[in-house]
A and B are shown apart, each in its own frame.
Chain A
């Protein structure tokens, strides 16, 4: 090959690089391992972390994924293809993405869906930027952001949009209901607001008054952005039907649809909207069309919105989506259907209700927020939350998320979740362990006396 090139050595091929820049050592990088050796290393590390029983949700949920989902998803034809630029050689991925878009439209009640974004939090940031562009009536870049939106999502939104002068106004939550009381919006009536963000269920698992909130947004010239859990949507009113006119944009975390927990990623963000806003939507979009012979085919469309054509005027800098995660989600939704999703959602709801009733039977443990909720709830402990959770973890049980960092006003509160995968035995074990841990930590004055 060097002879064909007319070079003496491979080194000669780098002769345009100034010698002063060339590197000779990579001392800090370990020597190569064989596949077997790296397998042993990874095996040890995977084992080291154990597999504790998980009662944490908070944006990542431990749901059952049918075996077929990842067996098909990791077929090389999906796993090792790239963005479907050559449509004729990518009809598999393209048709699948069109089916995905269709499923998301069915689930959310919106008109259109893109082919996914990175995750739920960054999808909300994109939704906010999209709303600012799409709301032609509003001259402001003010967004009303309830404090009941996932705290990490609020941080991500701020980090992504603040350089574009978008103003995020935080809305307080009702301390007894744990929801955004529509009456707090009255302070903003008549002001120029680009959009109102509406989580459903919210970070506490509580259901918001989505109809009233959506109608308020529209009455005040603001767009309504729904942030929803796609599994919950199998049971709850879809954003497209909120209030009189429905939400304008909805987004969320796609992880409950076939993505393993995997330390927080890769997941995928979904983004759907009304037809009238489609040209403001960032990310890849697939359209159905015909080929030269009139046969149905699928292709990337509306590409002129995107960075590779529109450059500095693009709707976003995003290039990739989370194609493989969407492949899994599509197969997952096809296998479960609405019946399967509803059952998984209902069982998660029921398990969490059961968990909360058993935990609150323990002296001193109380459930906050007496409003309808989905599959997460906030409970307050009679002992230091962080310390209780550490003790539970030592028993290989992840008891929930400590809320003291983001909601210190709630005291020793934790957010718990029991998906359909949690068994009655696991729920019993949690209640027993929690009772013991609280007694040991002296959280209750008279811990040995059983509650009524």
Chain B
């Protein structure tokens, strides 16, 4: 039942403040609303009970294994939330003067330095609000760099066909044409195809390494050289940074600009789809274009760098300093992890992924790239099962929910038919991984003995499969008083 349907005229929550209604009659009537907004009228207990009950209809990391590939659903330490929510930090106004911001700015400065070191870049700006905004900042900087050099012929961004959809969408938002580069049968970028299209029109290439195919591109140095020789720049999509944290630095691989998803690698909560944070790091030549604001140190004091200090900056992308509260959570996480913990993230996430891959192969599942090492994630394809048993990837995914596991990423990357992209992360124990593998084996057996049971799944959740076609054809996007 919707909160609106529990509404009773005149009911109020005691948490409302203030108790009295001030006189607003000095605001001329022409500006004032004629009828109050039709929001629910409920008691505090009704609201608390309603939203607590709703929460129980969710899968989450705190309640389930959530091996969603490319999303890095690792455990979010609770200390990150409570320390980022200390009163002095939570109540700081974004326009508070530097004199009353040194503690906060120290955290941001330290985080910039940590991210700079772990990525091997020259400088870092924390301000982009999410991965996609970090991508935007990255490509906008590439464009600003070429524009500043009067190099206006560069009109294309190269994107591997395995890339996430944000890559091409971002390139277009920055005014570029997108050219797709094919992937070889081994999962690496087709270097010859790249060499054939790269040239004076190439502004840059957007790469994820390890790629969305769950493998590390072994030819990365040759790719970097090819693009650089043609005058283009290399953009690193940090979606899979967890796989190489503390082991390999994008700066060493030759990238000129990278974005990081702190809600993945640095364990800030996903919050049902945000907020994230997407800091960007750059090589020497892109430093002048970094988005503002940033924090610098002048003697013992922390100072803001804004548009005035960085005249060539691509500017700000949110009104203030990005998702500051998320940055603080990532900072707490990074300090608890420390120098010795960072490589362990890559090591254990890679160990978990390779273990799962081998065990799933032994259980009768096909790896998409059987000759390759898994990175922190890997792909299995259910093409054979779909053909032989008539049970497809979506059916497996939905049946996994009945077994109490969130489904892996389905049907992405688009290159691999009937695929599951599985990312266990470093925070899961062996027993959980074994439980998931057992569930996959059990579902495979069901698919053979009772395929309908799998096709009709899920059976135990608050709802059965939903009619997406009806949702899109008969749009119902808001409750209104007329609805009931």
Task: Identify B31's interface contact among A10, A54, A372, CB under 8 A.
Answer: A372
Give Cα A153 to B164, complex, Å: 29
A185 within 8 A of B: no
Instruction: Determine whether the beta carbon of A72 is less than 8 Å from that of B470.
Output: no
> What is the minimal beta-carbon distance from A160 to any residue of chain B, in angstroms?
7
Number of interface residues of B (CB under 8 A): 190
A130-155 vs B, CB cutoff 8 Å, 1 = contact: the mask equals 00000000000000000000101101
Please choose the segment from A170-178, A302-310, A429-437 that sits at the chain B interface, where 4 or more of its residues have CB less than 8 A away.
Answer: A302-310
A449 within 8 A of B: no
Q: Given the known inter-chain contacts A23-B246, A56-B95, A334-B50, please indicate yes or no for A86 contacting B272, CB distance below 8 A.
A: no
Q: How many residues of A contact B (CB 8 A)?
A: 191
Cβ A14 vs Cβ B350 within 8 A: yes
A262 x B37 contact (CB < 8 A): no
> 6 nearest interchain CB pairs?
A264-B320, A32-B338, A76-B62, A324-B271, A264-B94, A45-B103
Interface 9-residue window, one of A89-97, A358-366, A376-384: A89-97
Q: Of the candidates B63, B248, B320, B474, which one forms a contact with A17 in the assembled complex, judged by CB atoms under 8 Å apart?
A: B248
A66 with B44: CB separation less than 8 A: yes
Q: Which of B193-201, B383-391, B460-468 contacts A (4 or more CB under 8 A)?
A: B460-468
Task: Select B12's contact among A106, A292, A337, beta carbons within 8 Å.
Answer: A337
Stretch of B166-174, B225-233, B445-453 lying at the A interface: B166-174
> CB within 8 A of B32: which of A150, A237, A327?
A237
Q: Nearest chain-A residue to B457 (Cβ)?
A: A88
Q: Mark A99-123, 1 if CB is under 8 A from B, else 0.
A: 1011111110001110110111110
Per the 8 Å Cβ criterion, residues 12-56 of A in contact with B are 13-18, 20-23, 26-35, 38-39, 41-52, 54, 56
Whether, in the assembled complex, B149 has its beta carbon less than 8 Å from a beta carbon of chain A, the answer is no
Is residue B359 within 8 Å, beta carbon to beta carbon, of the partner chain?
yes
Q: Which of B136, B341, B458, B470 sits near A317, CB closer than 8 Å?
A: B136
**Interface: A444 (CB within 8 A):** no
A418 to B84, CA, bound (A): 26
Contact B325 A266 (CB under 8 A): yes
Q: Contact: A265 with B320, CB < 8 Å? A: yes
A153 touches B21 (CB 8 A): no
B40–A334 touching, CB < 8 Å: yes
For A320, give its contact among B42, B59, B276 (CB under 8 Å): B276
7 cross-chain CB contacts under 8 A? A35-B77, A78-B55, A112-B475, A264-B318, A322-B275, A334-B39, A350-B24
Contact residues in B for A87 (Cβ distance below 8 Å): 463, 466
Q: Is A443 an interface residue (CB 8 A)?
A: no
What residue of chain B has the Cβ atom nearest to residue A104's Cβ? B478
Which residues in chain A, 358-416, are within 8 Å of chain B measured between CB atoms? 372, 374, 389-390, 393-394, 398, 401
Interface residue ranges of B92-120 to A (CB < 8 Å): 92-97, 99-104, 106-107, 113-114, 116-118, 120
Q: Is the CB of B325 within 8 A of A346?
A: no
Task: Confirm or deny: B185 has a beta carbon within 8 angstroms of a beta carbon on chain A.
Answer: no
CB within 8 A of B102: which of A48, A309, A311? A48
Whether A47 pairs with B90 at a CB distance below 8 angstroms is no
Cβ contact of A263, chosen from B37, B269, B324, cutoff 8 A: B324
Partner of A289, one of B60, B215, B476: B476
Q: Which residues of A contact B412 (CB under 8 A)?
A: 308
Q: Would you give the shortest CB distance from A151 to chain B, in whole angstroms?
A: 9
B221 lies within 8 A of chain A by Cβ: yes
B415 within 8 A of A: no
Asked whether B392 is an interface residue with its Cβ less than 8 Å from the other chain, the reply is no
With contact pairs A21-B253, A95-B54, A299-B466 given, residues A420 and B17 touching in the complex (Cβ less than 8 Å): yes
**Bound complex: CA A292 to CA B466 (Å):** 6
Question: Is A321 located at the chain interface by the 8 A CB criterion?
Answer: yes
Does chain A have a CB within 8 A of B432? Answer: no
Are A342 and B36 in contact, CB atoms less than 8 angstroms apart?
Answer: yes
Residues of A within 8 A of B272 (CB): 78, 81-84, 90, 93, 96-97, 323-324, 327
Residue pair B60, A83 in contact (C-beta under 8 Å): no
**Which one of A28, A93, A398 has the highest number of Cβ atoms from chain B below 10 Å of its Cβ?**
A93
Question: Given that A16-B218, A112-B478, A291-B465 are known contacts, is A263 also in contact with B89, CB under 8 Å in the complex?
Answer: yes
* B468 adjacent to A299 (CB under 8 Å): yes
Q: Which residues in window 282-340 of B have CB below 8 A to A?
A: 307, 314-326, 328, 332, 334-340
Q: Name the residue on A nearest B318 (C-beta).
A: A119
A414 shortest CB reach to chain B, Å: 11
Nearest-neighbour CB distance to chain B for A62, whole angstroms, equals: 7
Bound-state CA distance A241–B113 (Å) is 50
A118 touches B133 (CB 8 A): yes
Q: A118-B129, A159-B140 are in contact. List 7 more A-B contacts (CB 8 A).
A: A10-B347, A26-B118, A28-B113, A79-B62, A262-B89, A319-B131, A338-B39
List the A side residues contacting B57 at CB < 8 Å: 90-92, 95
- Interface contact A150-B466, CB-CB below 8 Å: no
Which residues on the A side are within 8 Å of B20 (C-beta)?
343, 347
Indicate if the CB atoms of A47 and B3 lie closer than 8 Å: no
Cβ contact within 8 Å between B318 and A263: no
Q: Is the CB of A30 within 8 A of B335?
A: yes
Whether A238 pairs with B335 at a CB distance below 8 angstroms is no
Complex Cα gap A79–B50 (Å): 17
